[in-house]
Amino acid sequence: MKILGILGSPRIKGNSDILLSRALAGAKEAGAKVEKIILDRKQISGCKDCKKCNKTGICVIRDDMSEIQGKILDAYAVIHASPVYFWSMTAQMKAYLDRWCVFFAADWSWQKAYYPQMKGKRIGLITVCGDTNVHTADPVVHSFKSTAQMTGMHWLGDVMAAAGDKGEIAQNAKALQEAFDLGRKAATP
C-alpha cells in the first residue's frame, strides 16, 4: 500500500511540509509505504482545456505531471498540503489539480481506463494559513472536497492549521497530531 503526499508549498521544511511529513509518518506507522512529491521542484504547466484528454486519457502537455498521474493511479491514498495564498491554494497546487482533467471524460465521469483505480480513491488535505482563523482556508477545502464529492472519491478529511513563520507549526501539538491521524486513517482500510 502506497500513500502519496503532495506538497504545494515552495517552502521546504515550512509549515505545510512539516504537517505533510507528520501525515506520512502516520501512514508509515499504519504499515504503508510513503512518498512525498514537492510540486515546486517539478515542471507542471496549467491545463490548456484542449479537451484531447477527454477522448484519449492522455494529456498533450509533456511535463512532470504524466509521471505524477501514474503515481496517483497507483496510490492507495493521496494527501495534499497547501498553504493559503490569497484565500486560495498555491499556484503550484492549482496547476497540479487542474491537470487532473486527464482522468476524466467530457462529462466529468472517470475515464474508463482509470475508473478502477480512481473510483473511491482516498483523498485528504492539509491547509496552513497565516491568519489565526483557520477558516481562511475554507475555499481550499471547498475545492478539494467538492472535487472528491463530485467524482465519488473517498474524502478522508482535512487538517486546517494556522501559522505564519517558517516552521512555526512545529509548536502546534494539536495540528501535528491531527496530521499524524489523517495519515494513519489514509492507510487504514
Ligand X SMILES: Cc1cc2nc3c(=O)[nH]c(=O)nc-3n(C[C@H](O)[C@H](O)[C@H](O)COP(=O)(O)O)c2cc1C
Q: Which is nearer to ligand X, 86 or 112 (CB)?
A: 86
Q: How far is the CB of 12 from ligand X (least distance, A)?
A: 9
Dihedral pair phi/psi, residue 98, rounded to 5°: -60, -30
Q: How far is the CB of 87 from ligand X (least distance, A)?
A: 5
Q: How far is the CB of 37 from ligand X (least distance, A)?
A: 15
Q: Which residues bind ligand X (CB under 6 A)?
A: 9, 11, 14-17, 83-87, 128-131, 136, 163-164, 166
**DSSP letters along 109-167, please?**
SBPTTTHHHHTT-EEEEEEEESSSSGGGGHHHHHHHHHHHHHHT-EEEEEEEEE--STT
The greatest distance separating any two alpha carbons of the chain, rounded to the nearest whole angstrom, comes to 48
Output the residue with the shortest Cβ distance to ligand X: 14
Q: Which is nearer to ligand X, 6 or 61 (CB)?
A: 6
